[in-house]
Amino acid sequence: METLVGAEFAPETTYLNTSTCGLLPARAVTAMTGLMDELAAGRMDGAGDYAAVIAVRRSFAEIAEVGEDRVAVGGSVAVHTALIAGSLPPGAEVVLPEGEFASVVTPFAVRGDLKLRFVPLNGLADAVRPGTALVAFSAVQSADGRIADLPAVREAAATHGARTLLDASQSAGWLPLRAGDWDYTVTGAFKFLLCPRGVSFLTLTEEAQTSVAPLHAGPYAAEELWGPPYGPVERFADSARRYDEPPAFLAYQGAQRSLELVVEVGVPALHRHATELARQFREGLGALGHSPVPSDSAIVAVPGLGGRAADLAAAGIVVAERAGYLRAAFHLYNSTADVERALGVLAGG
């Protein structure tokens, strides 16, 4: 893996900020640059190739361990979530964790006629009750990297007949994902999946599709992809492709190569690598007298230490400050040397 990483990444900083945005591998940059050159030259290839969208869907399906026919592509988690929010009847109860990311919460909140109930993350499974229509939450929390109790939430939802919406934006790529275990999953691909912004995924079980209308459908949602593009779509795709947004071809050109890399390395290997570095960082923080959030996550968060992000930045180490936490995230392009460098700066404070 070391040789592969060296060929694909050459950051000028110590980059520990994948939770905000992943680094683009060289192969993705080359693909996108080639497409931009085609467009600048006025050649037809510059319009983009739908073959890239097909390849991206296939790769994500492999990563998410779900059939391609259950994957819809798009550009943002908020748009995907809004489709699900729009499918709920007035008065439906949606249970969400306190402090959940805005893209998961806001589409439900703006409805104005849903009953939203916010509970602590560690009490999410216990909060599901008869009459709960949907549990919507992130597998890994953005602010502090905590991993939800996925089996417990899934069991509670099944017991009470609630549907589930899992946001895998902070987990897909390093934490194994079985999308078929959830009624819906949404995933922004520009973090641990190393894609350009403008690539996201929605998965739906076949049963869940029966209540979701393709509200933003265009010609790419039609069963006949290259039919007449005028007038309303007469027949939607029989698969989840009916929920596709028109793809941002430049982003998908790069995403094809990024996801090929993730598949090539493999999620199990990425999980081992990232979580081991995170473990080393937590132990080092503890030795310095800090108390990071307990977790087995690839994301490390330290309450009250967010102000040190500027000191790290001055030393060429990129992290994030979120809700008062110092947040560092580890991925395949990180090493033990990165851990030691960050700890060294924090020790000097």
For 127, residues 6+ apart whose C-beta sits below 8 A from its C-beta are: 95, 117, 119
For 288, residues 6+ apart whose C-beta sits below 8 A from its C-beta are: 343, 346, 347
The CA-based diameter of the chain, rounded to the nearest angstrom, is 66
Domain 44-264 sits in CATH at: 3.40.640.10
Q: Are 250 and 36 in contact (CB under 8 A)?
A: yes
5-44 pLDDT per residue, tens: 889 999 999 999 999 999 999 999 999 999 999 999 998 7
Per-residue model confidence (pLDDT) at position 212: 96
- The two tokens of residue 87 are 């499918």
Euclidean distance between CA atoms 153 and 155, whole angstroms: 5
Per-residue model confidence (pLDDT) at position 3: 84
Per-residue model confidence (pLDDT) at position 82: 97
Strands of 114-234, DSSP E: 115-119, 132-138, 163-167, 184-188, 200-204
Q: Are 163 and 177 in contact (CB under 8 A)?
A: no
Question: Which ranges constitute the DSSP H helices of the chain?
Answer: 2-8, 26-40, 50-64, 77-87, 102-109, 124-127, 150-160, 249-265, 267-287, 309-314, 336-347
Euclidean distance between CA atoms 214 and 241, whole angstroms: 10
List the one residue out of 206, 215, 194 whose CA is nearest residue 270. 194
Euclidean distance between CA atoms 88 and 5, whole angstroms: 44
Per-residue model confidence (pLDDT) at position 104: 98
List the one residue out of 333, 345, 208 whose CA is nearest residue 285. 345
Give 281: exposed, middle or buried? Use CB within 10 Å, 0-12, 13-18, 19+: buried
CA torsion, ordered 19, 21, 26, 29, to nearest 10 deg: 160
Domain boundaries, the chain: 2-24+265-347, 44-264
66-123 pLDDT per residue, tens: 999 999 999 999 999 999 999 999 999 999 999 999 999 999 999 999 999 999 999 9
Amino acid at site 18: T
Architecture of domain 2-24+265-347: Alpha-Beta Complex (3.90)
Euclidean distance between CA atoms 44 and 57, whole angstroms: 23
Q: Would you give per-residue pLDDT tens digits along the chain (349 residues)?
A: 778 888 999 999 999 999 999 999 999 999 999 999 999 999 877 788 899 999 999 999 999 999 999 999 999 999 999 999 999 999 999 999 999 999 999 999 999 999 999 999 999 999 999 999 999 999 999 999 999 999 999 999 999 999 999 999 999 999 999 999 999 999 999 999 999 999 999 999 999 999 999 999 999 999 999 888 899 999 999 999 999 999 999 999 999 999 999 999 999 999 999 999 999 999 999 999 999 999 999 999 999 999 999 999 999 999 999 999 999 999 999 999 999 999 999 998 6
For 13, residues 6+ apart whose C-beta sits below 8 A from its C-beta are: 316, 317, 318
CA distances in angstroms from 200 to 6, 7, 349, listed in the order given:
27, 26, 39
Per-residue model confidence (pLDDT) at position 349: 66
For residue 62, the Cα-to-chain-centroid distance in whole angstroms is: 15
The alpha carbons of the chain give a radius of gyration, in whole angstroms, of 21
List the one residue out of 159, 144, 105 whose CA is nearest residue 292. 144
Per-residue model confidence (pLDDT) at position 228: 86
